[in-house]
């Protein structure tokens, strides 16, 4: 250690942890938003029939996973999530469908930023539902850069997110809803992020082009389908 350097303890922020929330996640979602988050997640499923290898990022309790496995009988999936309890729920859901479904999924209990696929340019589908909002702008750009390094040419990327509606007075209502969601995730899952990052800009910067989008709940929910143009 050089003179003048101190041994001051570093403030390490513990990562988000959805383990305690996991068993109640689906029911809380339905109480709060009815069927609309599921509609947002499943919006582009009919366009994913040709996918062969999918990366599901922070897919939580695996409701999207189960639907994807059922709708696409050949897709192989890497499922990455920080929460062991969420992974248990997702694995249970896949197992309930039967071994032919469960065997097409590989679960990875880790931070997406520590994940590395078996081969580069691995995925023709990357899905991120209510996941990119867990990152601040800087971390988000790193995550999207990883997406672009893992995507095959012409890969599809689907994203669902909350959104602040641009025009008042809906803007103020949507902003209050988004803020209260961040506060709830801070209390229950230690999420430190406090505002929605600009993921469309980050996706565009890293070679993804918007192909289709859909809005629900008067624009509070945004589903988007992107194509990767390497
Ligand atoms: C808000 S939940 C969304 C879950 C699910 N995708 C959905 O549609 O409801 C965010 C999920 O992302 C996971 N997550 C958050 N940060 C992560 C990270 N850095 N790497 C991997 N998973 C992460 C959490 O454990 C949680 O399961």
- The per-residue pLDDT for 219 is 96
Taking the C-alpha atoms of residue 195 and residue 174, their distance in angstroms, rounded to an integer, is 12
Structure tokens, 179: 């803020």
**Closest residue CA from atom 6 of ligand 1:** 59
Q: Judge whether 132 and 207 are in contact, CB under 8 Å.
A: no
Q: pTM of whole model > 0.75?
A: yes
Interval between CA 6 and ligand 1 midpoint (Å): 36
Mutate to test the pocket of ligand 1, among 21, 134, 144 (most ligand atoms within 8 A of CB): 134
| Minimum-distance ligand 1 atom for the alpha carbon of 139 | 19
- The per-residue pLDDT for 175 is 95
- The per-residue pLDDT for 12 is 59
CA nearest 71: which of 152, 127, 131?
Answer: 127
Any residues with Cβ below 6 Å from ligand 1, and which? 16, 18, 41, 58-60, 80-83, 86, 111-112, 129-131, 134
- The per-residue pLDDT for 121 is 77
- Phi-psi region at 151: left, alpha or beta (left = phi > 0; alpha = psi -120 to 50): beta
Residues of the chain with pLDDT under 70: 1-13
Q: Judge whether 197 and 132 are in contact, CB under 8 Å.
A: yes
Q: Judge whether 156 and 128 are in contact, CB under 8 Å.
A: no
| Minimum-distance ligand 1 atom for the alpha carbon of 83 | 25
Interval between CA 85 and ligand 1 midpoint (Å): 11
- The per-residue pLDDT for 18 is 96
Q: In what order do the strands lie in the sheet with 76-81?
A: 105-109, 76-81, 53-57, 123-129, 151-162, 221-228, 208-216
């Amino acid at each position: 250690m050089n003179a003048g350097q101190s041994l001051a303890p570093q403030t390490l922020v513990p990562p988000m942890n959805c383990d305690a929330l996991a068993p109640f996640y689906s029911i809380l979602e339905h109480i709060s938003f009815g069927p609309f988050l599921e509609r947002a997640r499943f919006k582009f499923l009919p366009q994913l029939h040709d996918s062969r290898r999918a990366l599901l990022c922070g897919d939580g309790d695996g409701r999207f996973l189960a639907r994807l496995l059922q709708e696409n009988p050949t897709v192989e999936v890497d499922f990455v999530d920080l929460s062991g309890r969420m992974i248990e729920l997702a694995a249970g859901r896949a197992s309930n469908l039967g071994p032919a479904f469960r065997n097409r999924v590989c679960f990875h209990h880790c931070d997406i930023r520590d994940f590395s696929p078996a081969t580069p340019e691995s995925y023709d589908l990357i899905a991120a539902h209510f996941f990119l909002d867990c990152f601040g702008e800087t971390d988000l750009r790193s995550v999207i850069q990883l997406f672009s390094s893992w995507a095959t040419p012409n890969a599809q990327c689907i994203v669902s997110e909350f959104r602040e509606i641009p025009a008042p007075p809906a803007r103020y209502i949507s902003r209050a809803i988004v803020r209260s969601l961040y506060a709830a995730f801070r209390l229950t899952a230690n999420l430190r992020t406090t505002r929605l990052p600009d993921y469309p800009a980050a996706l565009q910067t890293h070679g993804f082009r918007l192909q289709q989008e859909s809005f629900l709940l008067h624009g509070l929910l945004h589903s988007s389908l992107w194509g990767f143009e390497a």
